Every structure is written in C-alpha cells, then in structure tokens.
Amino acid sequence: MSSDPREALLAPYAQRASESAGRMLPEAEHPFRSCYQRDRDRIVHGTSFRRLDGKTQVFLNGKGDHYRTRLTHTIEVASVSRTVARALGLNEDLAEAIALAHDLGHPPFGHAGEETLDLLMKDDNGFDHNAQSLRVVETLEESYPQHPGLNLSHEVLEGLKKHHRELVRPDGTTYPSPSLEAQVANIADEIAYYSHDLEDGLGSGLLSQKELMSLDLWREADAKAHAESSGSLSTASSRTYRKFVLRCLINREVEDLVSTSRAAIASAGVRNVSDVRNHPTRLIGYSTELKSRNAALRRHLYERFYRHPEVHGANENACRQMQAVFAHLINHPEKLGERTLSRREHDGLPRIVADYVAGMTDPFLRDRYEEIKG
C-alpha cells in the first residue's frame, strides 16, 4: 500500500488505507494517492454520479433552481462526513468516498420512484436503492476495459452495505459492524436530509415556521441563531433567517454526534479497527435526547411535507410515467441497447430493465414517456 504521512495522525481505531483489505481484483498502488482517494475519484468521475444532478430529492427535478437534487444532497453528506470524521480522528477520505457513492443507485423521482420500482420488481427480489448503489459500482459502471464496475476497495463497498445485519470479510468470515467511517457516512446522510428538506420545505411555503416552533429542536436552533446574530436576525430576510437557523441546527446535530460517539468509543474500549468491526453494536450515534428530538422532526416532515398534496400528487403522476416506461421496455427490450441486453441471460429481463430505468434522470424518463405516449 502507498504510504500516507497523515495516517500517523489518525486515531488507533480509524481505518488506515495501508491496512485495507484491498480490491476484488488486485491493482498496483498509486505513487501518491491512497486507495480511498482513488475510490473517491472513480466515483466522482463515474456516469452515475453525474446523473444525480438530474434526479429528485423531494421536489421533482425542474421544479425550481434552488431546490436540492440528489447530487447536491450527496455533496452535503460528504461535507458532514468529513467534518465528523476529522473531529473523531477517523479517515476522512474513506468517509467521503462512502458518502459520495451512497445514493448512486437511487432511481428518478426520489423515494416515490424507489417504491414504484420495488412494486414493479416484487416478483423478482424487489428494488432497493442501497443494493442498487452496490450494483452500480460493482457491475454497471463502465470505466475499465479489463473488468465491469469500479473495482472499489473492500472498505468502501462495506460502507454501502448499511442495512446488512452481517458483513463478510474477503476471507469469508463474518462480523457485525462496519468501520467507524462507514457509520459516520450513514448518519451524515440523516443530518443532511433533515436540514436541507427543512430549508426546501420552508422555501416552497409547504412548511410553516410557526408550526416548526412546536418542535424542541427547531426552537433551540432558533434561540441559538438569535443569540449568535446579536439581534440582527430579527430584521433579516426569510431566506437568511432559515439558512442561519439551519446552520445552528446542523451544528447542534454534529456536536452532539461527535461528543456522544467519542464517549461511546471510549466506553467500548476499542483499540483498533478490528475491535470496531467485532463490536456487536454501532458506536457512532446521537444522545438519547437528540434521538427523541430527531424522531419528532422526522414525523413532522412526513406529515407536513413529504405527504403534502403538492409533493405527493406530483410524485404519483411521475411514478405512473415510470410504470409506463418500465412496461414498454419489458415489451420492447430491443430499446435497451446491446450493452444492457448483454446482461439479460445472467440477470433476467426485469432486472436489466430496472437497472436501465433506475439509471435515468427525471427529464430523461419524462422524455421517454412522451415518446411512448406519442
């Protein structure tokens, strides 16, 4: 493994690139980039990463220039991941690479699109965007003539298996917990979507600042924002107000996560990354108080935002378009192209159609629908 002088600064339980379990297909090391830096670059240069810019977060792509897309969400997750990893003495490059890849398998039209594809694939093992992200980096990306996928390191692939109850080492042995870097990227995803969905919801007018004041977490962030602004927040624009309050809310989440996780790591007595993987429970997490406040915030977002008729109605219409495109491709597989069809014998027609549809951006799927309709 290429040496990285920064490894000497990492905590003993951090995952070092020099101790990586390697790649499925061995490769020569780069003279000055660690394996996780190379993984990050492979992900960023991939076709699937670029497509995230055309995929829905909450509002359908094209609804407004200021609303988040799946790409801007991913960048925010990577930013939070690096902050938390650095504060805990972990490997920032690994945490960032996992964060950048975590949504590569998300289909168009957000969570509604995922639910639709899962329903369409109910007789063929369903559809899950986490599993699809793994499929993208292991099989579907086409960057190298010698193998499919990106041939990422074991630790990045491990970080994408966020809902696996049991993980498997390259030698076939199993263990219960991923690296601390993987755990950080998982919770950074949560912090990012809480905060930016609040901002988009308030900016759209679908969320009410007055109703948010019923939540402990929002009231606390509001009070902190007013104190830090020395009273000037009272005369600020609504956009400046919500951005500053959300800055305080994110700080609250990150500070709680770092202090609680640091205490949990110390209490568990983990001395190295092997101890972390063999620990029966995850060590990166919030305090009990913040867990409760986050749960209340999540309920509020579902009730007042995600299920709002303006969001839900638009998503329902988009998902009917997805169903029509999926059915058309099942009946006309020749439209998939030779590269996709080459996987038909191994994966079956429904799965390769799901791959094709999941890889579409919102505008591309709408265009295909109009072609079929026409």
CA dihedral (265, 294, 75, 365) in degrees, to 10, reads 130
Cα–Cα distance for residue pair 251/134, rounded to 1 Å? 31
Please list the ranges in the chain whose pLDDT falls under 70: 1-3, 58-66
Give the pTM: 0.94
User: 């990106």: which residue's tokens?
Assistant: 150
Structure tokens at 115: 């639910």
CB 105 within 8 A of CB 130: yes
Looking at residue 11, what DSSP letter applies? -
Looking at residue 134, what DSSP letter applies? H
For the chain, list the domains and their CATH numbers.
Answer: 5-373 (1.10.3210.10)
Look at residues 94, 81, 101, 88 and name the one whose alpha carbon lies nearest to residue 17.
Answer: 94
Sequence-ordered list of residues with C-beta below 8 angstroms from that of 328, at least 6 positions apart, any chain: 335, 368, 372
Distance in angstroms between the alpha carbons of the first and the last residue of the chain: 56
CB 179 within 8 A of CB 94: yes
Identity of the amino acid at 44: V
Q: Quick one: residue 330, left, alpha or beta (phi over 0 = left, psi -120 to 50 = alpha)? A: alpha
Structure tokens at 280: 């029966």
Cα–Cα distances in Å, from 181 out to 6, 13, 160, 188? 16, 10, 11, 10
Cα–Cα distance for residue pair 98/82, rounded to 1 Å? 11
pLDDT of residue 91: 98
Structure tokens at 110: 């957000």
H or E element in which residue 175 lies: strand 174-175
pLDDT of residue 236: 83
φ/ψ of 34, rounded to 5, equals -70, 165
pLDDT digits (tens, 9 = 90+) for 102-125: 999 999 998 889 999 999 999 999
pLDDT of residue 59: 54
Cα–Cα distances in Å, from 28 out to 4, 35, 147, 152? 16, 10, 15, 13
Beta strands at 174-175 and 167-168: parallel, antiparallel or unpaired? antiparallel
Bridge partners, 23 (sequence order): 153
Task: Give just the sign of the alpha carbon dihedral 275, 281, 286, 288.
Answer: negative
Cα–Cα distance for residue pair 199/205, rounded to 1 Å? 10
Helix (H/G/I), strand (E/B), else coil: 47 = helix
H or E element in which residue 167 lies: strand 167-168
